C-alpha cells in the first residue's frame, strides 16, 4: 500500500457526522418515548405529542449535521435544505429501526430470558 493513498478503513468527517447524528437521533427518540412520554401525555393534545416526537429528534440531528463539515462547499440555502432532508431521512430510518426493534421484542418475548 502506498503511503500517500488513504486507508479504506478511515471514515470521512461527513460519514462520522452522519453516524453520530443517527445515534443521537436514536437516543433522543428512546429518551422521548420512555422518559418524557408521561409528561407529553399530560398535555392531552394530540398534535403536541406529534410535534415533540418528530421535531425534537429532527432538530437535534440537523444541529449535529449543520455543525459538522458535512458538505460545507454547498451554498448556504442549498446546504440547509439538503441537511434538513438528510435529517428527515435519518429520523425516518431511526423510527423504522425502533418499530422493528419493538416488533421483534413483542413477537419473540422469550429470547434473552434465562429462567422459567
What was the pLDDT predicted at 110?
Answer: 67
Helix, strand or coil for residue 72? coil
Query: Once rounded to an integer, what is the mean pLDDT over residues 30-53?
Result: 79
Question: Has residue 112 got a pLDDT over 60?
Answer: no
Rounded to the nearest 10 degrees, what angle do helices 46-67 and 13-31 cross at?
Answer: 160
pTM for this model (two decimals): 0.75
Residue 88 near residue 80 (C-beta atoms within 8 A): no
Amino acid at each position: 500500500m502506498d503511503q500517500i493513498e488513504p486507508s479504506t478503513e478511515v471514515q470521512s468527517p461527513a460519514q462520522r457526522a452522519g453516524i453520530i447524528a443517527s445515534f443521537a437521533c436514536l437516543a433522543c427518540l428512546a429518551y422521548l418515548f420512555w422518559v418524557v412520554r408521561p409528561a407529553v401525555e399530560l398535555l392531552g393534545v394530540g398534535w403536541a405529542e406529534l410535534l415533540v416526537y418528530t421535531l425534537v429528534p429532527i432538530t437535534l440531528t440537523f444541529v449535529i449535521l449543520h455543525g459538522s463539515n458535512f458538505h460545507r462547499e454547498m451554498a448556504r440555502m442549498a446546504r440547509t435544505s439538503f441537511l434538513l432532508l438528510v435529517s428527515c431521512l435519518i429520523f425516518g430510518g431511526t423510527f423504522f429501526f425502533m418499530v422493528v426493534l419493538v416488533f421483534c421484542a413483542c413477537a419473540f418475548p422469550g429470547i434473552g430470558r434465562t429462567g422459567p
